[in-house]
Every structure is written in C-alpha cells, then in structure tokens.
Chains A and B, each alone.
Chain A
Amino acid sequence: MTLLVRAIVRAADAERAAADGLVPVRADRIAALVSRRASTPTATEEELRAHDAITRSVHDAAPSLPSRFGDAFVDEDALAAALRAREATLAAELDRIGERVELTVTLRWRQQQPPHEPATPLSGRAFLESRAVRERERQRAEQIVARLVEHLTCERAFVRSRPCPRDGLAAIVAILSTRDAVAALREDIASFGERSSEVVAEIHGPLPPFSFVS
C-alpha cells in the first residue's frame, strides 16, 4: 500500500475537502489528503491530469497547499511524522496563501527565436555567440516581465517568473491573487498581451498556489 499525498489543508477542513475518495491523515493543526494506492505511482499523463484535477477540487473546497506529484509514503505513521516535523511552517503557509489562487501566464514570443540547444555541435566562437544571443533573449524576457508586472494591479511580492524556460517562450509568470481579483487580473493580462508586439500571453487558472509553496 502506498499513500500518495495530494494536498495539505487545515485539520478543521480535512473532512470537508476530502472528496474523490481522498483520506485525511492528521497532525494537530494540519492534515494531508491522500489517495491510497496499491502500487508505486508512475508519472503518466493520466496520473498527472488526475493529480491536477484533485488538487483543484481540494482547493475549491477549502484553503490548501497543493503537493508536488509523487510525494508518497509507505504508511500513515510515516506521513504523520513528516507532517508534524513541518507543521509550524505549513500551518503558517496555509494562513498566508492557502486561500489565494495562482494565475499562470505563459508569454510566448511572437517571432521565432534561435533554439536554446543547437541541433549540431558548435565551434568555440559560435558557441559564445549563441550564449550571447541567449543572454540577450533572457534580458528582453525579464524586461517584458517587469512591464507586465507594472501593468498589473497586484503586489510585486506576489509574482514569480522564470525567463526563457524552453524554446519559444519568453517567460512563465505565476501570480498569486485573491479569488475576487482574478477577473480583473485576467483582463489586465489579456490587454497586455494584445498590446505587446513581442509576446502573446496565455492565461491558465485560477489554480492552487503551486508556485508559492515551499
């Protein structure tokens, strides 16, 4: 038997949030919502989509901290011990961000950029030139993210970004928001993308705050 952790919630919310066959495993103030599995899970597309749906469902039902896929334990005692070891930190995070949601913005270059990993080996000079091109792309991406953040009506502290995470993308930006501010944020982001000559903005969410938990 394996316990696959889906999310962390306040102990008082555990029963209410434990839909879809989830089982709560409790510490004093917090609880983990887990799926009981017969065997070790594998990160297939089906499993990832199921984890995505479950974490969203839990977060819609109660304040939660979503788990990274694959956090698994052999039994309830082992999981309860791990919960107790981090209980103070996780309880504080639940208070700080548990009720908020995350919008993820994918900023996609309108014009094709050179690939990050060249298909053929490069000479020394070509390698350095390639690195310089990538560095300029990263700087442009950071400037675009800064402009996006200025354009939004949210606090800078609640934004996390990754410039140039893969070919074709300027950045992936995660924005932490209250639920009642989501609609206005989506409008701001959409208008930024429409006005930009450099990037297209794709908005995902609202999601559980995956990018803001430790």
Chain B
Amino acid sequence: MAGVPLRIVAVSELVTTEVALVDLVDRLLERGVVLAGGAMISVAGVELIELRLNIVLASADALERARERAR
C-alpha cells in the first residue's frame, strides 16, 4: 500500500484541551478527501493498532456471511 502509517495520539489528550479542538478533531480526522492514507493509534507512546483510512471494518461473522454468499 502506498500510504504511510500516521501516528495519532490518544484522543482523550485532544478532547480535554478545549471545545474548539473537539470541533477540529471532528472535522479534520473524520471528514475530507482520503486518497490512500493510513493511521496508527498510539497510546502513551505504544503503537496499538494500525488503521487504514480506506478499508471497510466488519465483524468476523459478517465477513463469514459474505464469504458464504460468494460461494
């Protein structure tokens, strides 16, 4: 994948600063054009999980049902 992983600091650190920052987080991390980026959730300097901004998240059984339909 072409995108570079992006580290994101824990959201709680962002939302406690001021209301305007909450609005920024809402707008800048949830909306806007995405070409192929990725994001890394990081808490206290420990990288926990990598998110791809252009993937579809689904539960395991939803994926299983989709696989069954494809057969």
Contact = CB atoms under 8 A, between A and B. Distances in A.
A214 B53 CA distance: 12
A71 B23 contact: no
Interface residues of A, number: 44
Interface in A120-155: none
Interface string A66-77: 111111111000
B31 A70 contact: no
A90 B9 contact: no
Contacts of A49: 24
A86 B7 CA distance: 25
A73 B53 contact: no
B58 to A, nearest CB: 20
Contacts of B17: 45
B2 A40 contact: no
A207 B23 CA distance: 12
Contact of B33 (A41, A66, A73): A66
A2 interface: yes
Contacts of A72: 3-4, 6, 37-38
Contact of B9 (A2, A43, A78): A43
B48 to A, nearest CB: 14
Given A68-B29, A70-B39, A45 B3 contact: no
A175 interface: no
Residues of B in contact with A, size category: 20 to 34
A79 B35 contact: yes
Contacts of B6: 40-43, 70, 72
Contacts of A207: 27
A71 B36 contact: yes
Nearest to A49: B24
B63 interface: no
Nearest to B5: A40
B28 A69 contact: yes
Interface of A: 2, 5, 7-8, 32, 40-45, 48-49, 51-52, 55, 65-74, 78-79, 81-83, 86, 90, 104, 106, 165-166, 172, 204, 207, 210-211, 213-214
Given A68-B30, A72-B37, 13 more contacts: A5-B37, A8-B33, A32-B35, A45-B14, A48-B14, A48-B21, A69-B32, A70-B6, A71-B32, A73-B2, A74-B4, A166-B22, A210-B32
